């Protein structure tokens, strides 16, 4: 691995390995567990890694080997019903009790010295929050990397089924613990059948031809209401308000769980917990790939500080973020650095984007026709698939079912640091639609790169304007002089999100899908935190906003 990531520290210890140890779960089921350890005498603290994805690649090198080399016992355990462990897997129900059972087993091991930390990404973060519901006294630190605390929010982001996450995440959980070959075959099978799966009518059960039956996934897809009894106890947010365990958080601006990581930071900070945040230019997958030197160094410094009383590697501030556009790292005292004052950029006639509000907020401004047989595609963004991240979106913007509103070239740089929101007034001819909104950075050569985005469902009287708020997530991005700020609007981002049938019927069961006419009205605004501070170039009141760069609107 050091041949690939030259930023990794040198090895301190040779590593030993005890594979396949049977550790009793809370119900007595054997949970297979691998133990990595430094081959030297002495006391070493312990890291607990609980995963439903198997104990081989990538966890064995990323955690078992790399951290054992640095002087830690590392215990990698397969969750109930996965990786050869006994019992049946459930998306969230077993983790609190099984985590406590793992700690009870550790207490009986002669090499365990009472210093414990947890570490891991994604669902491995969820198992950490589950243990933190009732943290054992030995737990001295946590490192939650791109981790979730709310499974419902992961699968039904913004109130819309996140189809890409459901399918890609379901594939990983169902097959990765069976080995790399099984996972690759399943991913290829899903990719070949993705079009048929995501356009099936009804959508319910369409994934079975590619993935087989996955009962927990089907239940999660079938329960869009967060108040459904199925989700009782799934959201571990209550633990965030009382956790006192020092916690290091890692996320990426294009990570599908970025909003959950930032919520974790806010709640822990408010509760007075010792917490740090590292936010890089990463997707859910790339943080432990291209970002590994930064992520590993951050984790190692945190663990040494809280398990070995060695704070020498800690950075000077709690927060470090990567600022896109500027392509630089920045240390901040908090996130956001201060309460951000949002600047409104208004959609204007001709596909323009201006800092001046319209005189008539109800006036129809631009409209699009969404065809469910040929929906606007998802391009980049917070996906699990390999197409995630920052992408050139010009091909999507050229479609008739995507509206773009573009500001003039900036005379000075504009920084957007914090949560981005679209506050919109829209109408639709069927009364049911989705609104997908996206912030883009347009370079002088016309390249339009996505920064952040979000989606929200709309239910209103047909033809009647209604207000909708679309949360586009948070970002740290610098729009350089000569660049333009662009706002995309569509009624779909497929297959990232399940299509709205336009009839009000449940998405999984709908067989009839109606074309939708979506109209954006003049009161619609993109709210950018701090975006006015650098003085965006805007016309004086009463002057023309000027032509949009690549803009379009048929209003």
**pLDDT tens digits, residue range 309-365?**
999 999 999 999 999 999 999 999 999 877 668 899 999 999 999 988 887 767 899
DSSP state of 62: I
| Residue 173 pLDDT | 83
Instruction: Pick 60 or 173 by higher pLDDT.
Output: 60
Average pLDDT over residues 272-299: 95
Task: Compute CA distances 255 → 128, 252, 377, 379, whole Å.
Answer: 19, 5, 19, 14
Whole-number mean pLDDT of the chain? 90
Beta-sheet strands, E only, within 268-387: 275-283, 319-323, 328-332, 342-348, 352-354, 364-370
**For residue 151, what are its two tokens?**
């499974």
pLDDT given for residue 541 in this prediction: 30
Q: What is the mean pLDDT of residues 262-269?
A: 96
Between 8 and 100, the more confident residue is: 100
Quote the DSSP letter at residue 299: H
Among candidate residues 541, 496, 531, the one with its CA nearest the CA of residue 341:
531
Can you give 124-180 as a three-state secondary structure string? HHHHHHHHHCCCCCCEEEEEEEEECCCHHHHHCHHHCCCHHHHHHHHHHHHHHHHCH
Tokens 């379009």 found at: 552
Checking if the pLDDT of 285 tops 70, the result is yes
Is the CB of residue 478 less than 8 Å from the CB of residue 325? yes
| Measured CA distances, 376 to 135, 321, 392, 437 (Å) | 46, 32, 15, 12
The answer as to CATH 3.30.930.10 being correct for domain 1-148+237-334 is no
Is the CATH code 2.60.120.260 the one for domain 342-529?
yes
Q: Please return the burial class of 515, using the count of CB atoms within 10 Å of its CB with bins 0-12, 13-18 and 19+.
A: middle
| Statement: residue 4 has pLDDT above 60 | no
Q: What is the pLDDT of residues 473-505, one digit of tens each?
A: 999 999 999 999 999 999 999 999 999 999 999
Rounded Cα distance between 231 and 180, Å, is 31
Instruction: Compute the distance between CA of residue 116 and CA of residue 47 in angstroms, rounded to an integer.
Output: 6
Position 531 confidence tier, pLDDT thresholds 50, 70, 90 = low
Q: Residue 175's pLDDT is what?
A: 87
Condensed to tens digits (0 to 9), the pLDDT of residues 364-409 reads 999 999 999 999 999 999 998 778 999 999 999 999 999 999 999 9
pLDDT (0 to 100) of residue 384? 85
Q: Note the pLDDT of residue 361.
A: 62
Nearest to 279 by CA among 103, 135, 450, 144: 144
Give the DSSP H or E segment for 68: helix 66-69
DSSP alpha helix (H) spans, 223-336: 237-240, 258-270, 292-307
Q: Is the pLDDT of residue 74 over 50?
A: yes
| Whether residue 100 has pLDDT greater than 70 | yes
User: Two tokens at 240?
Assistant: 């965030």
In 3-state terms, what secondary structure has residue 123? helix
pLDDT at site 3:
45
């Amino acid at each position: 691995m050091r041949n690939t990531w030259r930023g990794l520290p040198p090895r301190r210890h040779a590593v030993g390995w005890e594979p396949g140890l049977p550790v009793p779960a809370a119900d007595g089921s054997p949970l297979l567990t691998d133990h990595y350890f430094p081959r030297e005498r002495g006391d070493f603290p312990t890291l607990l890694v609980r995963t439903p994805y198997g104990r081989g690649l990538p966890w064995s090198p990323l955690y078992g080997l790399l951290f054992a080399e640095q002087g830690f016992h590392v215990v990698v355990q397969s969750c109930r019903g996965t990786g050869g462990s006994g019992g049946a897997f459930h998306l969230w129900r077993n983790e609190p009790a099984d985590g406590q059972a793992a700690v009870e087993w550790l207490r009986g091991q002669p090499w365990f010295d009472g210093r414990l930390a947890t570490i891991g990404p994604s669902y491995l973060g969820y198992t950490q929050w589950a243990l933190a519901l009732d943290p054992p006294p030995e737990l001295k630190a946590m490192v939650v990397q791109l981790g979730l605390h709310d499974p419902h929010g992961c699968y039904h982001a913004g109130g819309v089924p996140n189809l890409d996450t459901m399918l890609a995440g379901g594939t990983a959980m169902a097959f990765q613990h069976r080995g790399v070959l099984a996972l690759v075959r399943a991913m290829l099978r899903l990719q070949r059948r993705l079009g048929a799966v995501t356009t099936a009518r009804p959508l319910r059960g369409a994934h079975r031809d590619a993935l087989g039956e996955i009962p927990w996934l089907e239940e999660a897809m079938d329960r869009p209401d967060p108040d459904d009894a199925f989700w009782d106890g799934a959201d571990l947010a209550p633990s965030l308000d009382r956790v006192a365990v020092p916690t290091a958080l890692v996320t990426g601006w294009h990570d599908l769980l970025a909003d959950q990581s930032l919520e974790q930071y806010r709640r822990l900070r408010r509760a007075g917990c010792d917490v740090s945040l590292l936010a890089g230019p990463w997707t859910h997958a790339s943080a432990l790939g291209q970002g590994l030197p930064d992520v590993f160094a951050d984790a190692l410094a945190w663990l040494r500080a809280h398990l070995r009383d060695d704070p020498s590697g800690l950075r000077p501030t709690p927060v470090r973020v990567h600022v896109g556009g500027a392509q630089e790292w920045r240390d901040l005292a908090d996130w956001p650095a201060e309460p951000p004052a949002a600047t409104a950029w208004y959609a204007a006639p001709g596909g323009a984007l201006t800092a001046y509000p319209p005189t008539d907020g109800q006036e129809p401004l631009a409209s699009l026709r969404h065809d469910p047989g040929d929906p606007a595609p998802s391009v980049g963004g917070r996906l699990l698939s390999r197409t995630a991240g920052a992408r050139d979106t010009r091909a999507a913007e050229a479609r008739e079912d995507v509206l773009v509103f573009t500001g003039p070239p900036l005379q000075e740089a504009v920084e957007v640091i914090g949560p981005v929101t679209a506050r919109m007034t829209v109408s639709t001819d069927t009364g049911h639609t989705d609104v997908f909104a996206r912030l883009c950075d347009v370079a002088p050569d016309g390249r339009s790169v996505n920064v952040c985005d979000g989606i929200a469902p709309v239910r209103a009287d047909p033809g009647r304007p209604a207000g909708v708020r679309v949360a586009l997530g948070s970002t740290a991005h610098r729009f350089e002089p000569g660049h333009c700020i662009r706002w995309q609007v569509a009624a779909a981002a497929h297959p990232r999100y399940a299509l709205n049938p336009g009839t009000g019927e449940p998405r999984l069961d709908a067989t009839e899908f109606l074309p939708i006419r979506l109209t954006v009205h003049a009161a619609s605004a993109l709210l950018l935190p701090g975006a006015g501070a650098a003085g965006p170039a805007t016309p004086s009141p009463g002057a023309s906003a000027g032509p949009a760069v690549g803009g379009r609107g048929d209003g």
